[in-house]
Amino acid sequence: MIDSGAMLAQVQAWSAINTGTANLAGLAQLAAALAEAFSALPGAVELVDPAPVTAIAADGSAFAKPHGQHLVVRVRPQANRRILLTGHMDTVFPADHAFQRQNWLDGETLNGPGVADMKGGIAVMLHALLAFEASGAASGLGYDVLINSDEETGSLASAALIAELAAGKLAALTYEPAALPDGTLAHERGGTGNYSVTITGKSAHAGRNPEEGRNAIVAAADLILRLKALENAEITINPAKLEGGSANNVVPDHAVLRFNIRPRTVEAGTLFDHSFSHLLIDIEATHQVATHRHGGVTRPPKKVDARAQALFDLVRECGAELGQDIRWKSTGGVCDGNNIAACGVPVVDTMGVRGGAIHSPDEYLIVPSLAERAALSARVIERLAQGAIS
């Protein structure tokens, strides 16, 4: 029996804790609460330190970027059939963001930070597993649970852990909110990559001897236009931020360009990286500057092969048994499902709640979907334990 009241209480308590990815104190508080909640499962619960991550400052220097610990639960690790369930405890709302409180929009709709993305999903995962453990099929399946602290910024501090836990798994379920409020699942996904380019030129007086300078801002502007020219049907490129320069009478000797790419295929991402390397060589020669690149593709495109489609079909069958009409659509968004699929493991990555307006102060959870989606997951996990997918 799934306790929808307990689920809602947990979501509200977890949402009240700010867990912006950079809020290490808030993440630690929630990690402790989640460790206590998941200790109800018959497995070992541990907090795992994040992997080191570096980022590029506005002056072009690299610095260490701290992250919170990740929660890992291992249940029946010696089982022959094992699956992976993943979620994230961080949100996009920092500690100083105005959106911190919950508000009932109507009797079934709760507005609040992270209620859909994805503290509601964590509750769905937990209560699905509790229901599964109470079933007769539990002994036939082992599983690992990962709730990381950095999904919203690309899972750089947990990517290796995701790959480690995905290895050898029969299938995976990830608890991002449904792609649409009606419960539609995300099917195929594009990929993403984040880059920073530091450009070093030479300063000079803008009036007295400008010809002796090497303008880093001009080089960056040229690079932006050339990057956009690389776009095609298989990849989009978004120059997002340009930093640098100083006084108006000084030829700027420094710039940092940050941009994002969205490849639709693995091949498109590989081709871009090759073209980008040659582009930087040309920029250096044309503008007589030096460049340094940082970053790359962090989440490869997620394609749905025959094994993954079998998992989608199983979810739809289980939904039909429960009176839920399960559909799916492709999306340009990314998540840890991309990482898992890159490991060759079938994954459905929108098993969380129904809701919407995520990443905005209008984010909402459709409360009846807590029990609804937990029942769906419990049934899918039970079928996996019974050998529905080989």
Sheet holding 192-200, edge to edge: 235-244, 254-263, 192-200, 290-299
What is the rounded end-to-end Cα distance, in angstroms, of the chain?
28
Listed residues 298, 323, 352: the one ending a domain:
298
The phi, psi pair for 201, rounded to 5°, reads -110, -140
**Same domain, yes or no: 233 and 349:** no
Whether the CA torsion 307, 309, 311, 317 is positive or negative: it is negative
Residue 243 and residue 134 in one domain = no
| Local structure of 186: helix, strand or coil | strand
For residues 226 and 307, state if they share a domain. no
Alpha-carbon distance of 293 to 277, in angstroms, equals: 9
Q: Which residues contact 312 (CB under 8 A, 6 or more apart)?
A: 185, 187, 304, 328, 348
Identify the CATH number of the domain in which residue 234 sits. Answer: 3.30.70.360
Q: Same structural domain for residues 86 and 118? A: yes
In a domain, 77, yes or no: yes
The answer to the question of residue 20 being in a domain is: yes
Residue 365 to residue 14: CA distance in whole angstroms: 14
Supply the pLDDT for residue 390: 82
Q: What integer pLDDT is reported at residue 332 of this predicted model?
A: 87
Longest dimension (CA), the chain: 84
pLDDT digit of tens for each residue in the chain (390 aa)?
Answer: 899 999 999 999 999 999 999 999 999 999 999 999 999 999 999 999 999 999 999 999 999 999 999 999 999 999 999 999 999 999 999 999 999 999 999 999 999 999 999 999 999 999 999 999 999 999 999 999 999 999 999 999 999 999 999 999 999 999 999 999 999 999 999 999 999 999 999 999 999 999 999 999 999 999 999 999 999 999 999 999 999 998 999 999 999 999 999 999 999 999 999 999 999 999 999 999 999 999 999 999 999 999 999 999 999 999 999 999 999 999 989 999 999 999 999 999 999 999 999 999 999 999 999 999 999 999 999 999 999 998
Helix (H) and strand (E) counts for the chain? 9, 18
DSSP state letter for 202: B
Round to whole Å and give the CA distance between 335 and 350: 9
Same domain for 201 and 97, yes or no, is no
Do 218 and 241 fall within a single domain?
A: yes
Phi-psi region of 258 (alpha: psi -120 to 50; beta: other; left: phi over 0): beta
Of 272, 298, 324, the domain-final residue: 298
Q: Would you say 80 and 94 are in contact if contact means Cβ atoms under 8 Å apart?
A: no
Query: Residue 214 is part of which domain span?
Result: 192-298
Q: If residue 142 lies in a helix (H) or strand (E), which one and from where to where?
A: strand 142-148
Predicted pLDDT of residue 49: 98
Please indicate, yes or no, whether residues 258 and 227 belong to a single structural domain of this protein: yes
Report yes or no on 371 lying in a domain.
yes
Contact 112, 39 (CB under 8 A): no
Q: Is residue 390 in a domain?
A: no
CB neighbour class for 233 (10 Å; exposed up to 12, middle 13-18, buried from 19)? exposed
Into how many domains does the chain fold?
Answer: 2
Q: Let me know whether 136 and 16 are in one domain.
A: yes
pLDDT at res. 372: 98
pTM assigned to the model: 0.96
* CA separation for the pair 148, 175 (Å, rounded): 12
Q: What percentage of the chain's residues is helix, strand, coil (to nearest 5)?
A: 35, 25, 35
Amino acid of residue 155: S
Q: What span, in angstroms and rounded, lies between the C-alpha atoms of 103 and 42?
A: 35
Domain containing 376 — which CATH number?
3.40.630.10
Residue 54 lies in a domain: yes
HSE-CB of 370 using CA atoms within 13 angstroms: 29
Q: The dihedral of CA 175, 176, 179, 180: what is its sign? A: positive
